[in-house]
Amino acid sequence: MLGDVMKESVEVVKMATFNFLEGNGILNKESFDKIGIHLHIPHGAIPKDGPSAGVALFCALVSSIIQKPLKSNLAMTGEISTLGEVIAIGGVREKLTACKNHRITNVILPYSNEKSFNKLPEEFKSGFTIYFVKHISEVYWIAFTDEDISDIKKVSFPEDATLDLNFIDLAPPQFDLL
């Protein structure tokens, strides 16, 4: 069951997605209103009550609407506003640990989390390419296009085999958008 914060986050994501798609000429209001959106988050051991899924929900909605998959080997986190701003989240280290456990090396983080990321030990950051974003338009270009994204703040860390993590092979959670 979704908590109140997550329900609010879903509504914000829907507004931001509509604003983005309409503003970029991808979808108009009439078409958007005809789309039946159903978000299914399986019940599990992890409570689903936090806004940091906003960027991922945005990508899931856009992917479903434009019928294009996201790039592979990409994780993302961040709260979003109705204007599409990507806002700081907590638990950067824990989220990156999950990425390491699942061998995901490209990660989208809110620009405002750069300081917390920089405080992490260098050996922990190794092997990641981090994209710090301020707006969902940057998320879109990273996740869906093959165009040059060099103007987006990107930090790469070479692979370092000195960090030993216990890798856990678990299937990622499934999100069904209809």
Answer yes or no: 95 catalytic: yes
Residue type, position 61, single letter: L
Over residues 94-106, the pLDDT tens digits come to 999 999 999 999 9
Structural domains in the chain, CATH included, are: 4-163+173-177 (3.30.230.10)
Higher-confidence residue: 122 or 10? 122
Strands (E), the chain: 39-40, 74-76, 79-80, 86-87, 106-110, 129-133, 154-156, 176-177
Amino acid 52: pLDDT: 82
Over residues 132-142, the pLDDT tens digits come to 999 999 999 99
Asked whether the predicted pLDDT for residue 55 surpasses 80, the reply is yes
Specify the range with the lowest mean pLDDT, choosing from 22-31, 46-55, 75-84, 108-117: 46-55
Identify whether the C-beta of residue 139 lies closer than 8 Å to the C-beta of residue 174: no
One of 48, 95, 100, 153 is an active-site residue; which one?
95
Instruction: Give the pLDDT band (50/70/90) at residue 114.
Output: very high
